[in-house]
Chains A and B, each alone.
Chain A
Amino acid sequence: MSGLNKDHGKLIHMLHDTQKKFGYIPAHSISQISGELKISESEIFGVLTFYKAFALEPRGRHLITICMGTACHVRGGVQIVEEMERKLNIKVGKTTANRKFTLETVNCLGCCAIGPVVVVNGKYYSNITIKKVDAILKEYQESE
């Protein structure tokens, strides 16, 4: 195909670097990478939106992921999402103004037996109910 595709490996590498540096991919980085690799901005956007690992908005220091897989869903996942949204005052996919928390959902983490599941910075919390939400948040609000 196009002689340019060989650069896609390099592109992903550069996107990773950018993500590491800023915590997300800012618009100006896209135009810069576009100039450097000579790949159009829309193409880069296509690649980066393909991977969940890249964020288009800055992320908080703590990433909260709530499982919305079928099992977790039927056991009250929705309520947990709502509670989190209310407590943090943001919608799913967004980051709090103080850049402390980013809220995301995910489909089945493969541990349905212990659902509903919430993961914060890679740490799993099992059998979550609305009541437990506060405690989880506190853990991170205080850890400065």
Chain B
Amino acid sequence: MIIIIDGKKIEVEGKRTVLEVAREKDIFIPSLCDHPQLTPFGGCRLCIVEIKEKRGYPPSCSTYVENGMEIKTKTPRLQELRREILELILSEHPNACLICSEKENCDEYKSTIRKVGEVTGCVLCSNNGRCELQDVVETLKIDKVKFPSVYRDLDVKKGDPFFDRDYNLCILCGRCVRVCQEVRGASAVSFVYRGSEAVVGTVFDLPLLESGCQFCGACVDVCPTGSLTERGIRYEGLPDERAKTICPLCSIGCELKIDLKRQKILSSKPSDEGAVNEGQACVKGRFLIKDVVHSPRRILKPLIRVNKKLEEVSWEGALDFVAQKLKKFKGKKTALIASPQVSCEEYFLLHKFASEELKTENVDSSYRFSPLAVFDKMAKENGLELGLNFEIKDISRAKTLFLIGEDISKSHPIIWLEVLKAVKGGAKLIVASPEELSLSRYSALWLQIKPGTEFYLLSFLSKLFLQKEQEADHPRIEGLDSFEDSLDKLDLSNVFEMTGITREELKEASELLLDTENAAFLFGMGLTQHSWGSRNVAALWNLALQAQAQLFPLGLENNLRGVFEIGRNSSDKGLNLNQIFQAASSGELKALYLAGPAPYLKKANLELLVIQDSFVNENFEFADAVLPASTFAETEGTFINGEGRLQKFNKVIDPLGEAKPDWWIISQLARRMGNKGFHFKNPSDITKEMIKIVPSFSNISYAELEKGQKIFIQEETKKERSFIPLKYSDSHYKKSKEYPFLMFLDYSLDYYRSLSLSQESRGLKAIRDSRWIKVSLEDAEELNLKEGENIAVESSSGKFKGFVKIVKSLPKGILGASFLLSEDSDFSVSGLIPSVFQESHSLGMLPVKIKREK
């Protein structure tokens, strides 16, 4: 269709608002409540226009274009009306500074006089620099406000983590309410009361912490005024530099814009251009990046052990020391562990170093139980070549979604946003989880499953499917008969009791799953962490074939996929992670090189321990040398995110103190040990070598990436579709008289290298503390446990401490705790070691008892 704006003919396609079209054509219309990512609201009326043959002044943000429309955006009448509207808005907003004739001269003071409780003008507002209200006042040239001014004198809300809410500055544009509801699915804030009392608020004015807020910061980022402001930057002044990089705190890999001042990170915000995150992030990327990088726990100088004490030395000294020592422990008696949070280049180099210099095949990273590895293992065991790549965007197109084994609103926030899009578009969501998740609100069905019994749930669903299938006439998929046989042999007579799910619920689930064309099955650690994880995944695979669903394995760490690809390209004859720790305790292993978090090594029997890390941790006690590694912000390289997508992260600041990038440290060591193959000047030199050696990386190209090309790692995806016969297994967890509880280990991603994020950030701790031990309401009442009380949990092989967190929806007899290698040993589930690290022992549920702590 053709429309005319201000005399200009414009061709338009689709359902667009007048404002959208105008913006696209650089025709400026003032607006305040509209936001490109949100549904039109039509609240502020600043965007009014005149349309031929239409009465009045319709708001352009909520008027859709029609063929032949003639629109005027700048008549004198419109300008006058807009000014009047803006004056009305300003009468309820501190306006002295806005209309002050001296305001230009005021700029340099702005950042210095903000330490006041009440914002009575822009000079005191922490939002200047990005205030849209200021901008429209500027463009509409307002220099007086003819209406009487009112200051609402509402209490400024400062009790929540990360940001303050000063609704005295609020213009009720509703952007925060909409983003929270439409994009984040939290609806933590809403318009409350009405008329002159109307304000944005929470239920009973409770803190956000008690209103279902995710602390994603999306509201802060869309707020056009200073009502919502990040507390951490209040007194920091304006940034002098801005950089872009990738968040390393989960497998999404959001693109972040980092504000810097004198080489210090002030804040980080999601980038609108981020291919995966498109302007969204989560609490970690939005509020924790600077805490991570500038943590007081950073180690900034090399240390070596002299006379039983760790002492600071020069890099020269440290590298010589470590090179000398390592030379003595070549071969089988040495092992290297790396974090799945380092870059591809660095992990590649660590592998190369281990094989060429340490002459060992004992190299591993913590990915064995990840959905990726288990899925891949299951496929291999059954002779299938299955791809691991997917696109997050595909999820929003699904008509039915089945989520099992992960609380994605916390672990994969951006995936959750896509799931939400699907649900808002009418898709049905089925969630299987032991406790009610905040996202269950959007589910058509929540299956409260007893952890560890997933296999039975999935098999039973398959069975229900088959009964239905027989009536339908579907093309037969290979392996159906033996699959059917195996199902027949499976004793599922007490499936309801075992899983805790009723017959009706299972029936409903099977109907929802069967009745769909486009289904997505998302599965996480909760499905794969059990020792029978690969059987679980096989059961899910079969079900997915029946429902013609796409599988989405949800790995946790940012570079898990990259590390996994490099790992599987090398020998797998060496010890794996668990075996390495076992060998360290038994004394078989003599030297350990740690480039990633590890459990407390008190029981280890090592002759040499080298730690290459960014943060102080308990294992320093046993270290012979500590090499200070820089964080992601101080170097560059590539990550492969959970989709299999190549991501380039950039150097944002110079390394702090004497810290050095992991790749530099390893190269230096190797050279000192006489290896000529480590002459890398920068990470891209390593990339060049890496892509020759790791086949699935062969298409990596920075240049293409920078051109906006999306690059996925290469994989052979023969679209094989064949059922896998299920093996019967008596696999579920049993408690005993002595250990009457089953504790569910929740793999937590709230860590970066050896830093526990909730111990570093008070804000995150208030939201979710890695030291919480979740107890059901019934058990808490029975044992008279109070919220926050100190308790300890004991298994047959160990003990750890934590604080009671009462969870209403948890079934009686089940406890939950975060599994986090970066947690202090007293508080870490790995305190239940050695059991946790025995391959034979399940990492799913542990029989335990609760003890009161004084």
Contact = CB atoms under 8 A, between A and B. Distances in A.
B202 A50 contact: no
Interface residues of A, number: 17
A99 interface: no
Given A2-B182, A49-B192, A49-B194, A27 B187 contact: no
A17 B426 CA distance: 29
Contact of B190 (A1, A3, A46, A56): A46
Contacts of B211: 40-42
Contacts of A49: 192-194
Interface string A37-60: 011111111100110000010000
B188 A42 contact: yes
A40 B194 CA distance: 19
A1 B39 contact: yes
B192 A46 contact: yes
A138 B441 CA distance: 50
B232 interface: no
A42 B201 contact: yes
A30 interface: yes
Given A3-B426, A49-B194, A38 B203 contact: no
Nearest to B443: A38
B570 interface: no
B395 interface: no
A56 B442 CA distance: 27
Contacts of A42: 187-190, 192, 201-203, 211-212
B226 to A, nearest CB: 22
Nearest to A31: B203
A56 B192 CA distance: 13
Contacts of B39: 1
Nearest to B190: A46
A50 B190 CA distance: 11
B212 A40 contact: yes
Interface in A3-44: 3, 27, 30, 38-44
Contacts of B441: 38, 40
A47 B111 CA distance: 39
Interface in B420-438: 423-426
B288 to A, nearest CB: 25
**B interface, size bucket:** 20 to 34
Interface in B206-224: 211-212
A2 B187 CA distance: 12
Contacts of B190: 40, 42-43, 45-46
A45 B192 contact: yes
Interface in B285-331: none
Given A40-B190, A41-B211, A42-B189, A2 B424 contact: yes
Given A2-B181, A2-B182, A49-B193, A41 B424 contact: no
Given A2-B181, A2-B182, A43 B187 contact: yes
Contacts, number: 58
A30 B203 contact: yes
A46 B39 CA distance: 19
B147 interface: no
Contact of A3 (B191, B194, B424): B424
A2 B177 CA distance: 13
Interface in B160-201: 181-182, 186-194, 201
Nearest to A50: B194
Contacts of A43: 181, 187, 190
A41 B205 CA distance: 11
A3 B425 contact: yes
Nearest to A27: B204
Nearest to B208: A42
Contacts of B204: 27, 45, 56
Contacts of B201: 42, 45-46
A53 to B, nearest CB: 12
A49 B188 CA distance: 16
Instruction: Among B190, B193, B204, B423, find the residue whose CB has the most chain A CB atoms closer than 10 A.
Output: B190
Nearest to B213: A42
Contacts of B426: 3
Instruction: Among B39, B192, B194, B442, find the residue whose CB has the most chain A CB atoms closer than 10 A.
Output: B192
A20 B212 CA distance: 28
B667 to A, nearest CB: 52
Instruction: Among A39, A42, A56, find the residue whose CB has the most chain B CB atoms closer than 10 A.
Output: A42
A41 B212 contact: yes
A97 B174 CA distance: 38
Interface string A65-94: 000000000000000000000000000000
Contacts of A44: 203
B189 A3 contact: no
Nearest to A56: B204
Contacts of A40: 186-188, 190, 203, 211-212, 441
Instruction: Among A30, A38, A40, find the residue whose CB has the most chain B CB atoms closer than 10 A.
Output: A40
Contacts of B191: 46, 50
Nearest to A41: B203
A45 B203 CA distance: 5
Nearest to B199: A49
Contacts of B424: 2-3
A50 B193 contact: yes
B193 A39 contact: no
B193 A3 contact: no
A2 B426 CA distance: 10
Contacts of A45: 190, 192, 201-204
A74 to B, nearest CB: 20
Contacts of A30: 203
A59 to B, nearest CB: 18
Given A46-B192, A49-B193, A39 B442 contact: no
B777 to A, nearest CB: 14
A69 to B, nearest CB: 14
A133 B318 CA distance: 90
Contacts of B212: 40-42
A47 to B, nearest CB: 8
Given A1-B39, A3-B425, A27-B204, A39 B187 contact: yes
A57 to B, nearest CB: 11
A39 B203 CA distance: 12
Interface string B40-70: 0000000000000000000000000000000
A27 B192 CA distance: 15
Interface in B482-510: none
A2 B181 CA distance: 8
Contacts of B425: 3
Contacts of B189: 42
A42 B182 CA distance: 14
Contacts of A3: 423-426
B442 A38 contact: yes
A32 to B, nearest CB: 13
B24 to A, nearest CB: 23
A104 B252 CA distance: 54
A42 B204 CA distance: 8
Instruction: Among A3, A39, A43, find the residue whose CB has the most chain B CB atoms closer than 10 A.
Output: A43
Interface in B49-99: none
A3 B211 CA distance: 21
A46 B186 CA distance: 14
Nearest to B177: A46
Contacts of A2: 181-182, 424
A42 B426 CA distance: 23
Instruction: Among B187, B201, B424, find the residue whose CB has the most chain A CB atoms closer than 10 A.
Output: B187
8 contacts: A1-B182, A2-B181, A3-B426, A38-B442, A40-B188, A42-B189, A43-B187, A46-B192
Given A1-B182, A50-B193, 16 more contacts: A2-B181, A3-B424, A39-B187, A40-B203, A41-B203, A42-B188, A42-B192, A44-B203, A45-B190, A45-B204, A46-B201, A49-B192, A49-B193, A49-B194, A50-B191, A50-B192
Interface of A: 1-3, 27, 30, 38-46, 49-50, 56
Query: Can you list the 9 inter-chain pairs with the closest CB atoms, starting with the nearest?
Result: A46-B190, A40-B187, A41-B203, A45-B203, A42-B190, A38-B441, A42-B203, A49-B193, A42-B202
